Amino acid sequence: MESNVKLSRRNLLRSATVAGGILPLMGCERVISTFTREMGQTIPETVSVADGAEIDQVFHLLARAGYGPWPGDLCRVRSMGAENWMEEQFHPETIDDTLCDLRARRFETLHHEPGTCYEYKKPVLREEIARHTLLRAVYSKRQLFEVMVGFWTDHLNINIEKGDCIYLKPSDDRLVIRANALGKFRNLIRASATSPAMLVYLDGKENKKSGPDDVPNENYARELLELHTLGVHGGYTQKDVYETARCLTGWRLRTGWRKGTVYFDASLHDDGEKEILGQRIPAGGGQQDLDRVIDIVCSHPATARHISTKLIRRLVADDAPVSLVDRVAAVFSESDGDIKSLVRNILTSEEFKESRGAKIKRPFRFIVSSMRATGTDTHAHSPLIEYLARMGQGLFQHPTPDGYPDEPDSWMGTLLWRWNFAFALASNQVPSAEVSIEQLAKAIDKGRRGGTPAKLLPHFIGRAGSKRELDALEKYLAGRELHSNDGRVELIGLILASPAFQRY
């Protein structure tokens, strides 16, 4: 998202002052679109494309460690060096994301404490968290961070349609997922364990011992072991689940003053001795039993392997290479679960470099990568969000704790809706999403008329089109004037719907 004009601090402040003065007088979103476009969040005058027979390695990195290149990103990252870009991404706090913030920080419910969110209607909460998530993925320069936010959102899935989760998930997104997406795995799991949203979703707030005959609620304990840490084949037993549930008794949610916040009720905690995965937890630990459990499960070798495998499936291949799993699991143990170290080892591996075009995009990635590739101007209103629901990936609405699947078979039934979206986006038929196909085509063709499949296809798929692909496009478009805007619209719609663009 580089501007042709250097964005100095003085220019930014001056422009922000002007924008601030006219915001009350004009439509806020229109002002933001105009301002961000002038500051560089637009299609540059020229766009370099990859033209080799194989997917360009920089394109591949941007497609996996991010949601695909924005027009101009390929040239920018080549100039700065892929390794430098990657290291920059590992420190998102150093990346100026002001232009993205102007679009995505306007949703006040994302910044409230849980109790305040109860004052809003559910449709408002549902729309704001979905719009925020989509806008961050499309416009943030912190692309790796957003990819990891998506990964951990699935890993620690919470369905906002269950109980009060819709009021509690906004703070979970901010304080659990985003606060720890590139931090330490142990801190992430600890934050999730006492997240109000997770305590509701997996019934942790119902886990108590008020009498000698009470049996602990095992729901969260089971998912903590099976999904969040050790994995289904991690070597734990039913006794480990039961003992873990005992350790987690007594965590409650306030229902009156400071509604939705968490507290520990020692009178509802099983304070006896426990044993988990062969390790003894002495009696009398109180609320520290939770930290002892988290230490045991997060340092277990099975957890290192389970988390490494899931990360590799998301970033490299659905069938995670055993050799890479072995190496990354070792890094997990050596680094005490440092997420940056894990991801760095994955992205710099030979297995990653050799996995170009090996994965199928899930609906969210397909929609976001389409908008990034076309330089779309959007504020992500409900018609755009509805496409995700129709494709089967409504945000924060997966019904089971395992999160949306990576496996391609789960998404093959959504192809018709993908094709509909591709042509609707290219022809500016998606409300609140504006695309300038003529500007993009001319930028790719270095200011000339632009429009042929051979010129445009590489921008979207990271390589030159094969003879078979180009023949198919030219046959379908036979007789159409490709240098006209209508012809370019149809061509780009076909490219976005093509099998090559569905892969990354």
* DSSP-based three-state secondary structure for 335: coil
Q: How far apart are the first and last CA of the chain?
A: 20
Mean pLDDT for all residues in the chain: 93
Residue 10 pLDDT: 45
Considering only residues 3 and 70, tell me which one the structure prediction assigns the higher pLDDT.
70
Residue the block writes with tokens 């689940």? 241
Asked if residue 55 lies in contact with residue 69, where contact means CB atoms within 8 angstroms, the answer is no
Given a cut of 70, whether residue 377 has pLDDT beyond it is yes
Whether the model clears a pTM of 0.85, i.e. scores above it, the answer is yes
Q: What is the pLDDT of residue 17?
A: 45
Residues 152 and 74: their CA atoms lie apart, in Å, by 27
Quote the tokens at residue 417: 């809706």
**What pLDDT does 449 receive?**
62
Could you give the CA distance from residue 477 to residue 463 in angstroms, rounded to a whole number? 21
Quote the pLDDT of residue 349.
98
What letter does residue 318 receive in the DSSP assignment? S
**Residue ranges per domain, the chain?**
1-42, 44-82+360-504, 90-201, 208-286, 301-353
pLDDT at residue number 392:
96
Range in 37-51, 191-205, 269-283, 473-487 with the lowest mean pLDDT: 473-487
pLDDT of 2-51, one tens digit each? 443 344 444 444 444 444 444 443 478 999 999 999 999 999 999 999 98
User: 482 pLDDT exceeds 90?
Assistant: no
Inter-residue contact 143 to 61 (CB < 8 Å): no
- 20, exposed or middle or buried, with CB in 10 Å at 0-12, 13-18, 19+? exposed
Return all residues near 426 (Cβ < 8 A) that are at least 6 apart. 374, 435, 437, 489, 490, 492, 493, 496
d(CA 477, CA 246): 66
Residue 441, Cβ density class (10 Å: 0-12 exposed, 13-18 middle, ≥19 buried): buried
Q: Which of helix, strand or coil describes residue 381?
A: coil
Q: Which percentage of the chain shows pLDDT scores above 90?
A: 87
Mean pLDDT confidence for 216-229: 98
Q: Which amino acid is at 448?
A: R
Q: Quick check: 164 and 133 in contact, CB under 8 A?
A: no
Task: Count the alpha carbons within 13 Å of 378 in the hemisphere toward its beta carbon.
Answer: 31
pLDDT band at 480 (very low <50, low <70, confident <90, very high): confident
What confidence tens digit (pLDDT) does each residue in 285-335 have?
999 999 999 999 999 999 999 999 999 999 999 999 999 999 999 999 999
Give the pLDDT of residue 20. Answer: 47
Do residues 496 and 426 lie in contact, with contact meaning Cβ atoms separated by under 8 Å?
yes
Is the predicted pLDDT of residue 481 greater than 90, yes or no? no
Asked if 207 and 248 touch (Cβ cutoff 8 Å), the reply is yes
**pLDDT digit string, tens, across residues 423-445:** 999 999 999 899 999 999 999 98
Q: What average pLDDT score do residues 446-450 get?
A: 68
Predicted pLDDT at 483: 74
Mean pLDDT computed over 112-125 = 95
